[in-house]
Amino acid sequence: MKLLLSLSLVACLLVAQTKAASNLVCFYDSSSYIREGLGKLLNPDLEIALQFCSHLIYGFAGIRGDNYQAYSLNENLDIYKHRFSEVTALKRKYTHLKVLLSVGGDRDLDVEHPNKYIELLEGEKVRQAAFIQSAQSLVKNYGFDGLDLAYQFPRNKPRKVHSEVGMVWKKFKKVFTGDFVVDKDAALHKEQFTSFVRDVKNSLRSDGLLLSLTVLPNVNSTWYFDIPSLNGLVDFVNLAAFDFLTPQRNPEEADYTAPLYGSDVQNRLPHYNADFQVKYWLDQGYPSTRINLGVAAYGNAWKLSADSGLEGTPVVPNTEGPAPEGLQSQKPGLLSWPEICSKLSNPQNQYQKGNDAPLRRVGDPSKRYGVYAYRSIDGAQITEGIWVSYEDPDSASNKAAYVRANNLGGVALFDLSYDDFRGQCTGDKYPILRAIKYRL
C-alpha cells in the first residue's frame, strides 16, 4: 500500500513536471485556404501539422459593426463551404487536439466601424449579450472547443528609434504633448474588458468550453489587461510578442522585429522584446504555465535605399517602407519562411548576380535578438535592396528553449500557413513547427 502510494506520488510529480511547456498552439488563418499558388494550404498539408499541435486556433471571426454580433468574416468559406465543420471534424482523427475559434486579429478590418471593439466594451450589457450569445452559438454549432479573443485595442504609436539627434528634444516634448497616449480612456476600457471577459467566460463555463486571450502585437498590456483579475477567467494567454517594428508602422528604419531580449544601445524602447512582455505578465502574478509565447513564422521585409548603407547592421536607416510582396505571402513587406529560405544562399541561386543574388544571412550567436538577412544597393549591379528580420527553425527553437527555462505553458505559432508546409526549403514539412515541438 505504502509503495503504491509513493509510486502514484512519483507519477503525479512526473505529470506535474511535464505539465509546463506542453502547449503548442497553432494559429490557422483560414484565408490561406483560398490563396493562389504555393501559399494555398489545404487539408492534407494541414493535417501533417496536427500531430504536433495541442491546440488549433481558427482565424478569424469578427464583430458586426451594426449589432455587435460575432460572425464569420467569410461565410462563403466558413459556413457554406463547411470549412468550420471540416476543421473541427479533424478532432475525430486527432483526438488530443482542441480547436478554438478566434475573434479579431488583424483580419477583422472594418473601415465603417473602426472602433467597434471599443464600442462593444463601452456599450450597455445588451450589446455585450448580443456578442456573447452569437459567439457561443458559433462555437457550439460548429463543434469548436472554445473561443479565443484576439481583441483589437488601440496600438502603441510607432516611434523612430534611430535618431540620437533630437532624442532629448523628443523626450522633452513627450512630457508635454502626451505623445505616447493612444487612448485617454484606457483605464476605463481595462475595467470594462475584465467585466466583459467575465461574462464571456460564464457563458462558456457550463459547457466546459475554453476561453483564451491573444494579446496582439503592439497592444500594451499595462493599459488594457487587469492581469490579476483575468487570472482564473481565461484558460491561457497567447502573447504575440513580435512585430514590435514593421515596415508599415516604421517605414523609415528597419530593426529586429521580434527580439527575445532588449538592448539598451541605440535608444530602443525597453518593452519592445518578448522577455519584457512575458516578465510583465509574470510580475502581475499570472501563472507561468498559462502563458504561451507567440512566435511568428514569417519575416518582415523592408525596401532599402541607396542611403541605407552597405552593412545592414540594425537599426538600418533610410529604408523605404515594405519590400515588394512575395508570390506566396501576397502581402507587401511580409515573407513566409519558405520565401525567405529561397532567397538565402542555396544551390539554385548561389551563382546569381545583381538583384537575383542570394541575401546575406547574419546569425545571432548571442541568441538574444534574432536573425536577419539583406542585400544592399551597391551602386553597380544591385538596384533593389532588401532587409528582412525573421525567425528560422534555429531561432524559433531558441524561443522554445526560453519557454522551457521559464516554465511557461508553451508556444503559439502565427501561423501554420507561413511555415514551410510543403517542405520547399529542405524537404522537411513544417520545419519551424517541428523545431519548436522538438525543444518543448
Ligand X SMILES: *[C@@H]1O[C@H](CO)[C@@H](O)[C@H](O)[C@H]1NC(C)=O
Binding positions for ligand X, rule: CB under 6 A: 180, 220-222, 271, 277, 280
Angle at alpha carbon of residue 159, lines to 156 and 160, rounded to 5°: 165
| Least Å from the CB of residue 132 to ligand X | 27
Between the alpha carbon of residue 153 and those of residues 51, 79, 118, 189, 395, the distances in Å are: 33, 28, 7, 9, 29
Q: Are 231 and 246 in contact (CB under 8 A)?
A: no
Helix extents (H) in 142-249: 167-177, 186-205, 221-224, 227-230
Q: Which is nearer to ligand X, 180 or 438 (CB)?
A: 180
Q: How far apart are CB 371 and ligand X at their closest, in Å?
A: 24
What b/e readout covers 252-264, taking b as 16+ CB neighbours within 10 angstroms? bbbbbbbbbebbe
The answer to whether 298 and 329 are in contact (CB under 8 A) is: yes
Provide, rounded to whole angstroms, the least separation between the CB of residue 344 and ligand X. 32
Nearer to ligand X, 154 or 247 (CB): 154
- Shortest distance, position 223 Cβ to ligand X, whole Å: 6
To ligand X, the closest distance from the beta carbon of 222 in angstroms equals: 4
Q: How far is the CB of 171 from ligand X (least distance, A)?
A: 12
Helical H segments across 231-283, by residue range: 274-283
Query: CA 349 to CA 361: how far, in whole Å?
Result: 14
| Between 143 and 287, CB nearer to ligand X | 287
Q: Which residue is nearest to ligand X (CB)?
A: 271
**Cα 201 off chain centre by:** 23
CA contacts within 13 A on the Cβ side of 166: 5
Phi-psi category of residue 29: left, alpha or beta, with phi > 0 → left and psi -120 to 50 → alpha: beta
Between 157 and 360, CB nearer to ligand X: 157
Kindly tell me which of 52 and 280 has the beta carbon lying closer to ligand X: 280
| Complex with ligand X: residue 408 or 440, whichever CB lies closer | 408
Among residues 87, 91, 93, the alpha carbon closest in space to that of 28 is found at: 87
Q: Which has the closest alpha carbon to 225: 292, 149, 163?
A: 149
Nearer to ligand X, 71 or 280 (CB): 280
Smaller CB distance to ligand X: residue 127 or 271?
271
C-alpha cell, 128:
455585450
Report angle CA 91, 92, 94 to the nearest 5 degrees. 55
What's the min distance (Å) between Cβ of 168 and ligand X? Answer: 17
Which amino acid type is present at position 67?
N
Minimum distance from CB of 247 to ligand X (Å)?
21
Which residue's CB is nearer to ligand X, number 222 or number 313? Answer: 222
Closer to ligand X by Cβ: residue 221 or 292? 221
Residue 76 to residue 66: CA distance in whole angstroms: 20
The nearest distance, CB 286 to ligand X, in angstroms, is: 12
Q: How far is the CB of 201 from ligand X (least distance, A)?
A: 23
Q: CA 311 to CA 408: how far, in whole Å?
A: 37
Instruction: Tell the smallest beta-carbon distance from residue 111 to ligand X (Å).
Output: 27
From residue 96, how far is each of 53, 138, 343, 403, 422 by CA, in Å?
A: 9, 22, 37, 21, 24
- Please identify, using beta-carbon distances, which residue of 106 and 183 lies nearer to ligand X: 183
Rounded Cα distance, 218 and 238, in Å = 13
Reported as half-sphere exposure (CB side, CA atoms, 13 A), residue 202 has a value of 8
